[in-house]
Amino acid sequence: MSVRKNLSNSVEAPPIDLHGLVRELFPINRSITGAGVRKTLAILARHSQLEIREVPSGTAVLDWEVPLEWNIRSATIRSLDGRCLVNFADNNLHVVGYSKPIHKEVSRAELAQHVHTLPDQPELIPYRTGYFADDWGFCMTDNLWQAMQDESYRIDIDSDLSPGSLTYGELFLPGELSDEVLITAHICHPSLANDNLSGIAVALALALRQAQRERRLSYRFLFIPATIGAITWLAHNESRLDRVCHGLVLTCVGDRGRFHYKKSRSGASIDGAMAHVLHHSGHPHEIMAFNPYGYDERQFCSPAFDLPMGCLMRSVHGTFPEYHTSADNPDFVRPEALDQSYAVVATLLDLLDANRTYVRTDGRGEPQLGRRGLYRAIAGQKEAGGASQMELLWVLNLADGKHSLLEMADRADIPFRRLQKAARLALDAELIKEVGGLRSYRPPQLVPNRRKPRHCP
């Protein structure tokens, strides 16, 4: 019989106000480098023992190079009679990311080559970047642009591109084992609440949660600029990537959409774990095949690394009308959606940490449960949500050294936590014992001199 239970109800409330953190971070202008990233990380560091790392401009990282640092102080478009029509101070989406400084009078025709709007969404400001374009640009509502019919305008962008560094945050929580769960969120977008800040908020809350718990596995949380940040971290940590057993990219986890989980490139065990959690969560969801477009999973899953990294979203990037527009604001992100996302991933982390493989101490026939007091134990736990006889029988039958608890739970279509309780009863009665499980990730042969991976619990 299929058993369903909303696992979100089994997880405690987040340790911080997720929506409050999104609102606090929203006004800050961020890019792949610069003061806004440092300010954001400093706020996160007030809540946690986050280590902030700086990598100098010009540093070679795989096939890339850490770019010049970009900072911006102000930007405006004014009519020649002095009226301010566009002001970066009003909305930091108004300026194309990495715009170079410019101060001059331009014709409307020339300005048109540097203006970005959304004709199909005329009241919204788009988000655009030009990290390596050596150019400048403005973003505005199409309604405003169509109303700007003067022959010339005065444009000013007070910014600079200069040697500096790429900044990212890292928090490592050691466990009993050196095998790691890697959680990442990108930190390079300006005022975009769902695509950026929701993942940051949920990742920080999870880090605070795991810091207060006993941990079998180790946990590493990264707050990094997209693409170049992931590439930089990978380049500096290549020698220890074999420790990563499970990984997850968090983004767009604050809207009302159904959950979407994008699987890892090679079908890692986290894919099955997340599918199990979502299946029993009570929330609408969809499991998506891997594809090489999206967020930083495409860097972590590049062929020479092929890390066991999936990506969790609610609405998928590029599919909702608020995506990369001024409509992706704190009102679009819902407190209850953030809390649900936190609960789903917290349940996943509990599963990963608790997953074990067992073998019967004597697998010949069904053991006598009555004389071991297991029937009384089962009856006594019914009201407390404990294990049932059927769950115990599943554990005793599949404890053959080949099935992990997660595999048992999937085979029986029973929530992992209930199989875990049944396993504890059987373990206490000395009917089963733990055995080692095979590591879920084996580095490919494309990377030379990679250490042979250890077994993953």
Show binding-site residues: 189, 195, 324
Q: What is the Cα–Cα distance from 186 to 59, expressed in whole angstroms? A: 20
Burial class (CB in 10 A: 0-12, 13-18, 19+), 177: middle
Neighbours of 7 (CB within 10 A): 25
Please state the length of the chain.
457
Residue at token pair 């809207």: 255
Which of 429, 437, 433 is closest to 407 using CA atoms?
Answer: 437
What φ, ψ does residue 73 adopt, rounded to 5°?
Answer: -110, -40
Token pair belonging to 196: 């950026």
CA distances from 129 to 70, 116, 190 (A): 12, 11, 10
Binding residues for Zn(2+): 189, 195, 324
Per residue in 307-329, is it b (16+ CB within 10 Å) or e — as a string? Answer: bbbbbbbbbbbeebebbbbbbbb
Tell me the sheet residues that pair with 66: none
The secondary structure of residue 194, as a DSSP letter, is I
Edge-to-edge strand order for the sheet containing 357-360? 400-404, 357-360, 432-435
Task: Give the span between the Cα atoms of 390 and 427, in whole angstroms.
Answer: 16
- Check: CB of residue 306 under 8 Å from CB of residue 299: no
CA distance 268 to 307: 8
Phi, psi angles (nearest 5°) of residue 180 = -115, 145
* CB-based contact 99:155 (threshold 8 Å): no
Q: What are phi and psi of 364, to 5 degrees?
A: -85, 100
List the alpha helices (DSSP H) in 1-113: 18-25, 35-47, 108-112
Distance CA 365, CA 431 (A): 12
Cα R_g (the chain), whole angstroms: 25
